[in-house]
Amino acid sequence: MRELYEFAVGPLAWGAFAVFFLGSIARLVAMYSLAKKKDAPFLSYMSWRYGLRSIGHWLVPFGSLGWKENPALTVVTFIFHICLIVTPIFLLAHVVLLDLYHGIEYPTLPEAVTDVMTMLVVAACIFFAARRFFNRTVRYVTSTQDWIVLAVVFLPFATGLLAYHQVGPPLTMATLHILSAELMLVAIPFTRLSHMIFGLFTRAYMGSEFGGVRHAKDW
């Protein structure tokens, strides 16, 4: 187990981050060149001003019609995404690890706070799962990939929580936590999690069309 742990925090972590960063860049580059080749007439409508304006409105909870008319989902979505991104970056244990291995140091969030944030991510995943199951529309359009993707996000946070609260054998939990986190990183560029990479662009394009061509809002 010790060796697996060492391998997971060492070479495998490097590998996972490499796949995540390079994969994301490669996908962006490929998509951009495809857009340039096939969608050039539409790319030419892209506008920083209107793209950012649209993103801005959608980054505000209840700042758009879509958010307003799906209130519960809106609250959960915002909490989920904020915690999902902020928690791992400012978690004490992660920063300690970074310091240990690479000498990188920066402020952290209090452990009690990150603990709650982790629980919120886990709870949000359960909410999404319930929604996938009970909401008619969502069930109608859900495929296996959506369940896998949800599990891939759920696992690192659930195992992290267990590890932190010392449930189960600590080393096994920590190893599972790291492995599942790496799985998530690797999955981002190649599954529906890629909305993390492409979402801003689709939003910016819609914003540009609505703002620049249609002189209307899209929120």
Partner 1 sequence: MGIETRRIEDAGLARGIERLTPDRIAETFQALLAGETGARLKTYVETCVRCGMCAPACHYCISHDGDPSYSPVGKVRQTMWELLRQGGRVEPRFLADCAQIAYTECNLCRRCMHYCPLGIDTAYIMTVVRRLCSKLGMTPMYIQDTTHSHSAVLNQMWVKDDEWTDSLQWQEDEARAEFPDLRIPLETEGVDFMYSVIAPEPKFRTQLIYQAAAIFHNAGCSWTMPATPGWDNSNMAMFSGDFEIMGRVERYHFETAQRLRVKRIVMGECGHAFRAVYDVGNRWLGWKMHPVPVVHSIEFFWELLDQGKIRIAQKQPGPVTIHDPCNVIRGRGLMDKLREVVHALYDNVVEMTPNREHNLCCCAGGGVINCGPPFKNVRIVGNKAKADQLKATGVETVIAPCHNCHGGLEDIIHHFKLGMKIKFLGDVIYANMERPAEA
d(CA 28, CA 25): 5
Closest CA to 23 of 157, 205, 181, 193: 193
204 binds partner 1, rule: CB under 8 A: yes
Binding-site member from 138, 161, 162, 183 for partner 1 (CB under 8 A) = 138
Binding-site member from 50, 58, 154, 157 for partner 1 (CB under 8 A) = 58
The window from 10-18, 91-99, 118-126, 133-141 that contacts partner 1 (CB under 8 A) reads 133-141
Q: How far is the CB of 65 from partner 1 (least distance, A)?
A: 4
Q: Three-state DSSP class for 103?
A: coil
Provide the token pair at 178.
Answer: 């790291």
94 binds partner 1, rule: CB under 8 A: no
Name every residue whose Cβ is closer than 8 Å to that of residue 207 and which is 6 or more positions away in sequence. Answer: 47, 50, 51, 52, 53, 54, 55, 218
d(CA 203, CA 51): 7
165 binds partner 1, rule: CB under 8 A: no
**Which is nearer to partner 1, 154 or 205 (by Cβ)?**
205
Crossing angle for the helix pair 11-38 and 195-208, nearest 10 degrees? 30
Interacting residues with partner 1 (CB under 8 A): 31-32, 34-35, 37-39, 41-42, 44-45, 54, 58, 64-67, 69-70, 73, 77, 131, 135-143, 146, 192, 194-195, 198-199, 201-207, 210, 213-219
